[in-house]
């Protein structure tokens, strides 16, 4: 090969690298910008009083304690409702369901479920959980509504995690006269668990940031007390943020950004939790 | 490289005297519309080593997986004809496949220890078959590891991950895992193809030492290996439509020194394959 050809190939390669790097920078910049901007704008609002006190003067003063607690309850309720059902459905679809048109249709439906606009889930929750099941405007209705939305992601990530378990492990287990269920229970599930947990926690953290669905199934702007039971109404960070930013005149900007920062912290801490679980189980697995 | 096949002077048992363990009559295997095996009939003697040899893609592994119904896992797989274990047809609907696989264990091409400790790997089968109690489990694990000629190498690291062992040790661990459920037949699908020569030799010695107690069937693409370890050999080829057929089957010494079929002779003298 001549040097000219070699040089031109080198230039092509470097150009390609440059564009790929540029694309990465373009992707990362908005994320970094949002985080930094939120911290700069809202950092000053964060104080012990802000996170530990009830709001006063329509949210202009006081803290956002009940909204933090409400969001926490909501995530817990969503996790409890979505994780077991989602994982079990994932196991069934991956390990047991025959590969026929019905299974493929169900899989397609689940994937598309993730694309349904969240306000539609809200209306679904309103008509099914709030009205038909008579759970009322409540934490329970909201958790179930968010769970319905999170299910798609929980099932999809569970399926992927289960499918990623090597065939050799399954065969090795079946080849010593162990049943299918024992194989799933003792070989496949432990292997897939980190992936399943990660997917579930990410789904929950996404649900925590949702505003539209909870708007119609039980979130309230201001409540005098924390919810006492799953049938009570609740406050939540995204809804509190929406209302203070959109409907309260003369709202201090710093407080609005402070709420946004708290919401980011809650959501990101769950993402970090997911990563920690994954790293921990992976390390333990290899002893 | 010397391609002459020398039949070792191991006193090979006269397999004619062995009872038949597995018996296949006119077996056809299909994967969907594709026929993988055509008209296979053979008797596998008990307590001996049977080798299945032949060129790549001739259906050796498919034939092996017929005996513990591992082909069932492949969607669209269908078996015609009759396969019997101790005279009992294993493709009857009333046959419990789990129980069958307990009696007919399998070792795979790539060592596949589970991502757990050496002890847990061997104890896996017995535990699932409800052998409880640490004492009995420890006994079973030690016995199986001794049988698999691995005990001395791992007795001080039973708590370590099975994945941390060398390739040859991993394969012997997999053999111990199968032995722990006390099978009658052990199927081995090219168990040495991922191993170095020293590790290969160890597995072969192990096979010989196990052959008194167990019926062993080994698929190998290594003719020397078949000649070294087996008592009987089955030679397979594929036909024009890629379906595998049995060309010749007989005592190893006879098949390698005096093949009856021209195709067997061509294959073992290295003219193709």
pLDDT tens for A245-282 read 988 888 889 999 999 999 999 988 888 888 888 787 76
CA distance B178 to A268: 46
B182 touches chain A (CB under 8 A): no
The verdict on a CB contact (< 8 Å) between B129 and A172 is no
A285 touches chain B (CB under 8 A): yes
pLDDT (0 to 100) of residue B268:
87
Instruction: Compute the C-alpha angle B222/B227/B228, nearest 5°.
Output: 95
Instruction: Report residue B172 CA to chain centroid gap.
Output: 13
Q: Which of B73, B99, B110 sits opposite A177 (nearest CB)?
A: B99
A94 touches chain B (CB under 8 A): no
Can you read off the two tokens belonging to residue B125?
């089968």
pTM of the model: 0.81
Determine which helix (DSSP H) or strand (DSSP E) holds B79, and give its type and residue range. Answer: strand B77-85
Superfamily of domain A72-285 in CATH is MetI-like (1.10.3720.10)
- A99-155 residue pLDDT tens: 889 999 998 999 888 888 999 999 999 999 999 999 999 999 999 999 999 999 999
Distance from CA of B262 to the nearest CA of A (A): 37
Q: Which of B70, B103, B161 sits opposite A287 (nearest CB)?
A: B161
Distance from CA of B97 to the nearest CA of A (A): 8
pLDDT (0 to 100) of residue B16:
59
Mean pLDDT computed over every residue of chain A: 89
Q: How far is CA A165 from CA A11, A190, A196, in A?
A: 41, 10, 12
CA distance A202 to A179: 32
The verdict on a CB contact (< 8 Å) between B108 and A172 is yes
pLDDT (0 to 100) of residue B75:
85
Can you read off the two tokens belonging to residue A99?
């590969």
The verdict on a CB contact (< 8 Å) between B112 and A186 is no
Distance from CA of A277 to the nearest CA of B (A): 18
* Percent of chain B at pLDDT exceeding 70: 93
A177 touches chain B (CB under 8 A): yes
Per-residue pLDDT band for B47 (boundaries 50, 70, 90) equals: confident
pLDDT (0 to 100) of residue A25:
94
CA distance B216 to B255: 18
Can you read off the two tokens belonging to residue B156?
């001080």
pLDDT (0 to 100) of residue B9:
45
Counting every residue written for chain A, the total comes to: 287
CA distance B141 to A286: 21
The verdict on a CB contact (< 8 Å) between A177 and B114 is no
* Percent of chain A at pLDDT exceeding 70: 97
pLDDT (0 to 100) of residue B3:
45
Residue with tokens 């492990």: A169
Per-residue pLDDT band for B240 (boundaries 50, 70, 90) equals: confident
A185 touches chain B (CB under 8 A): no
CA distance B71 to B90: 13
Per-residue pLDDT band for B219 (boundaries 50, 70, 90) equals: very high
Surface of A (56-85) touching B: CB under 8 A: none
Task: Indicate if ipTM > 0.85.
Answer: yes
Nearest CA in chain A to B108: A172
Q: CATH says B19-112+185-268 is which class?
A: alpha beta
Question: Using alpha carbons only, how large is chain B's radius of gyration in Å?
Answer: 19
Mean pLDDT computed over B111-116: 93
Burial class (CB in 10 A: 0-12, 13-18, 19+), A181: exposed
């Amino acid at each position: 090969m001549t040097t000219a050809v070699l040089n031109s190939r080198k230039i092509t390669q470097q150009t390609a690298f440059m564009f790929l790097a540029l694309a990465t920078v373009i992707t990362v910049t908005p994320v970094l910008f949002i985080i930094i901007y939120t911290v700069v704008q809202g950092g000053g609002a964060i104080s012990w009083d802000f996170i530990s006190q009830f709001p006063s003067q329509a949210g202009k003063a006081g803290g956002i304690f009940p909204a933090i607690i409400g969001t926490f309850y909501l995530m817990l309720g969503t996790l409890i409702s979505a994780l077991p059902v989602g994982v079990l459905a994932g196991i069934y679809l991956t390990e047991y369901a025959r590969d026929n048109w019905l299974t493929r249709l169900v899989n397609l439906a689940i994937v598309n479920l993730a694309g349904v606009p969240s306000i539609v889930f809200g209306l679904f929750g309103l008509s099914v959980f709030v009205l038909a099941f008579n759970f009322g405007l409540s934490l329970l209705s909201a958790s179930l509504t968010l769970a319905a939305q999170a299910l798609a992601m929980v099932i999809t990530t569970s399926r992927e995690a289960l499918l990623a378990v090597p065939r050799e492990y399954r065969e090795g287990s079946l080849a010593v006269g162990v049943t299918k269920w024992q194989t799933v229970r003792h070989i496949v599930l432990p292997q897939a668990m980190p992936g399943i947990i990660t997917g579930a926690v990410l789904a929950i953290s996404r649900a925590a940031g949702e505003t539209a669905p909870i708007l119609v199934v039980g979130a309230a702007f201001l409540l005098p007390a924390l919810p006492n039971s799953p049938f009570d109404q609740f406050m939540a960070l995204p809804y509190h943020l929406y209302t203070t930013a959109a409907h309260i005149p003369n709202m201090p900007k710093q407080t609005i950004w402070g709420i946004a920062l708290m919401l980011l912290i809650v959501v990101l801490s769950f993402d970090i939790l997911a990563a920690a679980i994954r790293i921990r189980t992976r390390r333990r697995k290899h002893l | 490289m010397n391609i002459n096949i020398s039949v070792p002077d191991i006193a090979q048992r006269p397999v004619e005297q062995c009872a038949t363990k597995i018996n296949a009559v006119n077996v056809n295997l299909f994967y969907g519309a594709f026929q993988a095996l055509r008209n296979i009939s053979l008797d596998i003697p008990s307590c001996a080593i049977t080798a299945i040899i032949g060129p790549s893609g001739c259906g050796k592994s498919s034939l092996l997986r017929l005996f513990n119904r591992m082909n069932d896992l492949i969607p669209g797989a269908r078996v015609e004809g009759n396969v019997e274990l101790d005279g009992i047809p294993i493709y009857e609907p009333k046959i419990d496949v789990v129980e069958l696989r307990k009696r007919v264990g399998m070792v795979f091409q790539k060592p596949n220890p589970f991502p757990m400790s050496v002890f847990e790997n061997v104890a896996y089968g017995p535990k699932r078959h409800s052998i409880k109690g640490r004492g009995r489990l420890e006994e079973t694990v030690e016995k199986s590891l001794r049988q698999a000629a691995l005990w001395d190498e791992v007795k001080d690291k039973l708590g370590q991950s099975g994945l941390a062992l060398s390739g040859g040790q991993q394969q012997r661990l997999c053999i111990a895992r199968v032995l722990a459920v006390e099978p009658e037949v052990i199927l081995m699908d090219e168990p040495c193809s991922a191993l170095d020569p020293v590790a290969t030799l160890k597995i072969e010695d192990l096979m010989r030492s196990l052959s008194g107690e167990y019926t062993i069937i080994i698929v190998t693409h290594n003719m020397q290996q078949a000649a070294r370890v087996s008592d009987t050999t089955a030679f397979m080829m594929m036909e024009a439509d890629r379906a595998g057929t049995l060309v010749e089957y007989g005592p190893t010494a006879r098949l390698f020194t005096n093949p009856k079929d021209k195709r067997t002779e061509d294959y073992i003298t290295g003219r193709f394959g």
